[in-house]
Amino acid sequence: MFANLAEKLQNTLRKLRGKGKLSEKDVDLALREIRLALLEADVNFKVVKEFVEEIRERAVGEEVRQSLTPGQQVVKIVHEELTALMGREQSKINLAGSPAVIMLAGLQGSGKTTTAVKLAVELSHGGRKPLLAAADTYRPGAAEQLQVLGDSAGLPCYRNDGASPVQICREAVRFAAREGYDPVILDTAGRLHLDAAMMDELKEIKAQLKPAELLLVVDAMTGQDAVNVASSFHEALGLTGVILTKLDGDTRGGAALSVRAVTGCPIKFAGVGEKLDALEPFHPERMASRILGMGDLLTLIEKAEAGFDQQKARKLEQKLRRQEFTLDDFREQLQQIQQIGSMEEILAMLPAAQLPKELRRLQVDEKQFQRIEAVIASMTPAERNNPAIINSSRRRRIARGSGTTVQDVNRLLTQFSQMQRLFKQMGSLEKKGFKNIGKGKRGFPFF
């Protein structure tokens, strides 16, 4: 996410961090670099100007002069201002009304339909019973797309393909009220460009349905254009917020950093992938931390907790204590980690400064996971339970069976026995009175 911008800002700030004293020249140079990095990331030029002015004012002021670590202080200021730029506090979704109505709008292909379902998934995890409403009657197959995506997540979709969008929305809300669904998420049609007819229709839906949220879905890949689109929609319709999609690609950051400042609309969610669980509540402070390489451990922990099964974790913990951790358990752990995200995504959320250098720019070979899984799958149950019996002829068989090499098998077995030894040590320390060693918040041993 924002790889280029992040790298440039981090480089600039790294130079400042180490400095015991900051000269005017140091500050000037850093600000020039920050300005360039933001402009290159396609941040609105007025926003950049104000941002840099704000930092300059603070950087030459008392808080930095009196600080024992002025470089560090400037880093803190940049972090605070970046957070402020994106809206300071997290802006939560408003679910007032029974049922609450959430209306999505946006240009063609911005991600409305996918986001409607992602949002429904997110809200259903929060204990709600959402209903999707297929109000795109223009693009053939649009209603079908929403229904298929909804089905795949086990979520209901209201359709009436012959009716007008306004009518479909009204019927969906009535249906939801009767059947106990709440909220109703309206997936409206996108157009290639802003046009009056489109706005009129959206205005009509808004007037009749009185949505608690009217959210504009914008494609972050389009940078400044996304911000212009948001401005026009906001002027015409009065938005309550924005959802940025496609933040996972090589998005430069312009949209995320300018849209709030230019339109005044809060960013409520960010789409970070095509899968239905790839939607994150937007936290300005955490996003600023990620951009500045300070990591985003809170999001990582939330993802880890959402992606794993507590019962399994408890069972695993017992096994670890009794030193019965097998290769099957190891494989299950790997699968759980993969559910959190790709290794690159996970690494991006860790504080860069605390990571060893070679890890920072690591291109993780996801195939490595598959290889380990294949090796374990080629073992017999007896071998998985007691790897000690795996002699060299068994190693050759396992390598052949999994399409790997004997070295791959050896590496895995060595790693596994190192892990077992580690758990054993933790066990004996606990016996000596050290409590809760290696016990994650919920008993997960690796976090």
Ligand X SMILES: Nc1nc2c(ncn2[C@@H]2O[C@H](COP(=O)(O)OP(=O)(O)OP(=O)(O)O)[C@@H](O)[C@H]2O)c(=O)[nH]1
Residue 341 touching ligand X (CB under 6 A): no
Residue 190 touching ligand X (CB under 6 A): yes
Residue 106 touching ligand X (CB under 6 A): yes
Nearer to Mg ion, 273 or 387 (CB): 273
> What are the C-alpha distances in Å from 30 to residues 35, 59, 67, 287?
9, 11, 18, 21
Distance (Å, rounded) from C-alpha 160 to C-alpha 156?
13
Instruction: Please report which residue ranges of 180-309 form alpha helices under DSSP H.
Output: 196-209, 224-237, 254-263, 284-291, 297-306
* Phi, psi angle pair for 27, to nearest 5°: -65, -45
Residue 113 touching Mg ion (CB under 5 A): yes
Helix or strand holding residue 280 (H, E): strand 279-281
Residue 114 touching ligand X (CB under 6 A): yes
* Interface size with ligand X, residues (CB under 6 A): 21
Distance (Å, rounded) from C-alpha 176 to C-alpha 237?
25
Q: Give min distance, CB of 278 to ligand X, in A.
A: 6
Distance (Å, rounded) from C-alpha 245 to C-alpha 221?
8
Residue 58 touching ligand X (CB under 6 A): no
* Interface size with Mg ion, residues (CB under 5 A): 2
* Residue of 112, 159, 206, 286 interacting with ligand X (CB under 6 A): 112
Picked from ligand X, Mg ion, none, the partner binding residue 274 (CB below 5 to 8 A depending on kind) is ligand X
Residue pair 147/157 in contact by the 8 Å Cβ criterion: yes
* Residue of 11, 108, 152, 414 interacting with ligand X (CB under 6 A): 108
* Residue of 122, 248, 345, 408 interacting with ligand X (CB under 6 A): 248
- Within residues 272-301, the interface with ligand X by CB under 6 A covers 272-274, 278
CA max distance for the chain: 75
* Phi, psi angle pair for 186, to nearest 5°: -95, 120
Residue 344 touching ligand X (CB under 6 A): no
Distance (Å, rounded) from C-alpha 346 to C-alpha 105?
31
Residue 111 touching ligand X (CB under 6 A): yes
Structure tokens at 222: 């389009």
Nearer to Mg ion, 138 or 423 (CB): 138
Distance (Å, rounded) from C-alpha 265 to C-alpha 238?
9
Q: Give min distance, CB of 191 to Mg ion, in A.
A: 11
Contacting range for Mg ion; rule: CB under 5 A; set: 27-35, 104-112, 197-205, 271-279: 104-112
Residue 152 touching ligand X (CB under 6 A): no
Region of 273 on the Ramachandran plot (φ > 0 left; ψ -120 to 50 alpha; else beta): left
Residue 245 touching Mg ion (CB under 5 A): no
Reply yes or no: is the peptide bond before residue 70 cis, omega within 30 of 0: no
Helix or strand holding residue 396 (H, E): helix 392-402
Q: Give min distance, CB of 108 to Mg ion, in A.
A: 8
Question: What is the residue whose two structure tokens read 């290696």?
Answer: 438
Nearer to ligand X, 248 or 296 (CB): 248
Site string for ligand X, 59-98 (x = CB under 6 A): ----------------------------------------
Residue 136 touching ligand X (CB under 6 A): yes
Residue 139 touching ligand X (CB under 6 A): yes
Nearer to ligand X, 150 or 271 (CB): 271
Distance (Å, rounded) from C-alpha 254 to C-alpha 207?
32
Binding interface with Mg ion (CB under 5 A): 112-113
Binding interface with ligand X (CB under 6 A): 106, 108-114, 136, 139, 142, 190, 245-246, 248-249, 271-274, 278
